[in-house]
Amino acid sequence: MFDGAGDVARKADLSMVDGVIETIGFVESKPSDVVIDVSGRYLLPGFIDSHSHADAAIFSPEVQRSLLRQGVTTVIGGQDGVSYAPGNGEYASTYFGALLGRHPSYTGGGVSALLEGYDGTTPVNVGYLIPAGTVRHLVRGYAEGTSTPEEVANMCRLITQGLDEGALGLSTGLDYIPNIYADTAELIALCRPVAAVGGIYVTHMRGGYESNASIGVQETAAIALATGVAVHISHYHGPSALLITLVDKVTAQGISITFDAYPYRRGCSLLAMPTLPAKLLAGANNDVAAKLIDPDVRAGLLETWFPLVAKNPDMGQEWPDNLRLAHIAAPEYFWAHGLTLREAAQHEGISPENFTLDILAASALEVSVVMKVRNQRQYEDLEVLFTHSGHIAGSDGIYIGAHPHPRAWGTFAKYLRLLTRERGSYDWSDAARHLSGRAAERFCLSGRGRLAPGYIADIAVIDPTVVKDMAGYASPREDSIGIDDVFVAGEHVLANGCLTGINSGRGLRRSAPVR
């Protein structure tokens, strides 16, 4: 077994009582004990997906199985500044409909009600970050501009309440409406109550990533220096040498910083993000969609905006070939799932630009795409990120759509297959730290992320010679193999690769300051 704290492997029995690890070593079983033989397999602490969009999808048996087959026992939701609580959940259900979908039960009640909804209803634990974009929308709607002191105070009250109810920290999505309008001073104010309770600030940074990552990292560092809050960068991607240099410089300033990254070279997001101007997106989805069928607005986009898209260094002339449709809300376009924008446009006999506007209008913007970047990096470069001491595994998994990104179904198994078994970037002790132990420390989950007496018995049983991600871009919903038995709070939630129907997961409340 590998304990998640970095210790060397040991061969031992493990006993669990009332959901907690009791003994590691030699255990002499009693007639009343349930004994499970896992000879030839490894025990690792259940994995913690530090960046997940399973906030609502977690109630689906398909999603539960996909996570457990990767060894994931906990997901962290509330990401990118947009999710259901606080408020009634409507903003997240519409604006992030293509990423989150609609929650099956939450209609209000705040963070406490959302977390209570996970208790005993799923085999996977869910932790939650207060989404700053949702908070700003509650206070200011879609309004642009600087918040007043009274509005900031109202936001801080909502954040403080959410923290009191168990939220792990605060998340921002500084490329999304309306979080994009929050200036650094506002973000500093919102992070003060997070720092006061030892929570974490998690950010989808401003200004893009890749070669522009320094813009966002500098702002993140300024927030940390002003408040003392521990910071974590979401889905960190770009030239590895640049990204690591930026993180190391921030660390040298005495700032506690980590980041998550996933082992894929393509991304996934809302189609509207790279194809429409941010100014146009400032409003409810239905209102924006109505503008897309206005002849004058449409003509202006075709004449002046899309040429700029083609000149964007991250997009280029080939942008219609690099955006593949993952989720489309409009049923009349169901046939287009899995096609590139150019392929779908050719099917309709129109230009990719016109097809993009048509499908966004018909779906009230609820469309997501898998994005192939122009210059895909080799895994030798990505390994520099994955093996850095600040790295924590996160899938950025999105479960909505007929043809989603395979990272939701394969990230953690791919770490074990590609980086551990095949490339040797990690040994198994490293894997346990990157995929579980470190995340528990950073996200205030004391008593989890380790195999040690007194810890909650969240355990993945892994066949090291078999474990493998099966999902790919052509077939993204394939379950991983090699992890057939998983325990959550000591309960056998996955047995022989199948869900047992036991729902021992819960909404996880913040239980310790960030480490």
Read off the pLDDT of residues 285-326 as tens digits, 9 standing for 90 and up: 999 999 999 999 999 999 999 999 999 877 889 999 999 999
426 has pLDDT over 80: yes
| Cβ 126 vs Cβ 48: under 8 Å | no
| Cβ 104 vs Cβ 56: under 8 Å | yes
Cis ω on the peptide bond leading into residue 331 (within 30° of 0)? no
Helix segments in 89-166, DSSP class H: 90-95, 110-116, 132-140, 149-164
With cut-offs at 50, 70 and 90, classify the pLDDT of residue 194: very high
Tallying the residues shown for the chain, one arrives at 515
Per-residue pLDDT at 314: 79
Query: How do residues 8-38 score in pLDDT, each as one tens digit?
Result: 788 999 999 999 999 999 998 899 899 999 9
Residue range 356-366: mean pLDDT, rounded: 98
| Cβ 514 vs Cβ 40: under 8 Å | no
**3-class state of residue 461 by DSSP:** strand
Strands of 42-45's sheet in order across: 42-45, 459-462, 485-488, 491-495, 498-499
With cut-offs at 50, 70 and 90, classify the pLDDT of residue 133: very high
The pair of three-digit structure tokens given for residue 326, joined into one six-digit string: 């993952």
Strands 323-328 and 367-372: antiparallel
With cut-offs at 50, 70 and 90, classify the pLDDT of residue 482: very high
| Cβ 309 vs Cβ 315: under 8 Å | yes
Per-residue pLDDT at 379: 84
Backbone angles phi, psi at 19, to 5 degrees: 85, 5
With cut-offs at 50, 70 and 90, classify the pLDDT of residue 515: confident
Q: d(Cα 166, Cα 155) in Å, to the nearest integer? A: 17
Residue range 89-116: mean pLDDT, rounded: 97
Q: How many CA atoms lie within 13 Å of 299's alpha carbon, on the beta-carbon side?
A: 3
Cis ω on the peptide bond leading into residue 464 (within 30° of 0)? no
Per-residue pLDDT at 34: 92
- Give ∠ CA 459-465-468 in degrees, rounded to 5: 75
| Cβ 406 vs Cβ 473: under 8 Å | yes
**Least confidently predicted of 94-103, 158-167, 219-228, 276-285:** 276-285
DSSP class of residue 80 equals G
Cα 234 to chain center, whole Å? 8
Rg (CA), the chain: 22
| Cβ 508 vs Cβ 74: under 8 Å | yes
**3-class state of residue 142 by DSSP:** coil
Residue of 361, 229, 270, 266 lying closest to 82 (CA atoms): 270
Residue of 215, 126, 122, 109 lying closest to 162 (CA atoms): 109
**3-class state of residue 33 by DSSP:** coil
With cut-offs at 50, 70 and 90, classify the pLDDT of residue 7: confident
Per-residue pLDDT at 288: 96
Residue of 436, 481, 433 lying closest to 458 (CA atoms): 436
**3-class state of residue 134 by DSSP:** helix
The pair of three-digit structure tokens given for residue 439, joined into one six-digit string: 């995340």
**Which amino acid appears at position 512 of this protein?**
A
The pair of three-digit structure tokens given for residue 184, joined into one six-digit string: 């650094």
In the chain, % of residues over pLDDT 70 = 100
Cα distances (Å, whole numbers) of residue 225 to 150, 173, 247, 257, 433:
24, 20, 14, 11, 27
